[in-house]
């Protein structure tokens, strides 16, 4: 994910043992953010496909940013699959990632 600026996009995460909710916000130079996507709850829905479709409706977004967001979404899902039973699993991906920006909204 070479092009994703960690200061521009934030993955909002709802982590549970049964599902993973992900949404993406756009961050501005100050501390304000704007929702870019709705929440997609995996595995209840094909969030990757829905995210891809939602991003396609944003003509101002570069193709590289869209690809990087989709790759980030995939990275988070794969991490969740490997660490779903870890109570603090999401904290590790937040610490490990230098390319993605995360905000944990809820964990249950």
Q: Tell me what the mean pLDDT of segment 43-59 comes to.
A: 90
- pLDDT score of 2 more than 70: no
Encode pLDDT of 28-45 as tens digits: 877 788 999 999 998 888
**Tell me, what's the pLDDT at 1?**
42
Distances (CA, A) of 48 to 9, 66, 73: 16, 11, 7
On whether the 9-107 domain is CATH 3.30.390.140, my answer is yes
Q: What is the mean pLDDT of the chain?
A: 81
Nearest CA among 17, 18, 34 for reference residue 26: 34
Domain ranges of the chain: 9-107
Task: Render pLDDT for 81-98 as a digit per residue (tens, 0 to 9).
Answer: 888 877 566 666 666 665
Per-residue CA distances from 3 to 64, 69, 85, 105 (Å): 7, 10, 32, 25
């Amino acid at each position: 994910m070479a092009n994703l600026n960690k200061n521009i996009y934030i993955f909002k995460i709802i982590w549970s043992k049964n599902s993973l909710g992900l949404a993406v916000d756009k961050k501005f130079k100050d501390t304000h953010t704007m929702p870019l996507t709705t929440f997609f709850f995996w595995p209840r829905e094909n969030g990757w496909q829905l995210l891809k479709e939602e991003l396609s409706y944003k003509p101002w977004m570069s193709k590289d940013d869209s690809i990087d967001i989709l790759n980030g979404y995939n990275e988070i899902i794969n991490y969740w699959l490997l660490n779903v039973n870890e109570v603090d699993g999401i904290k590790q991906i937040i610490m490990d990632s230098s390319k993605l920006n995360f905000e944990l909204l809820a964990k249950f």
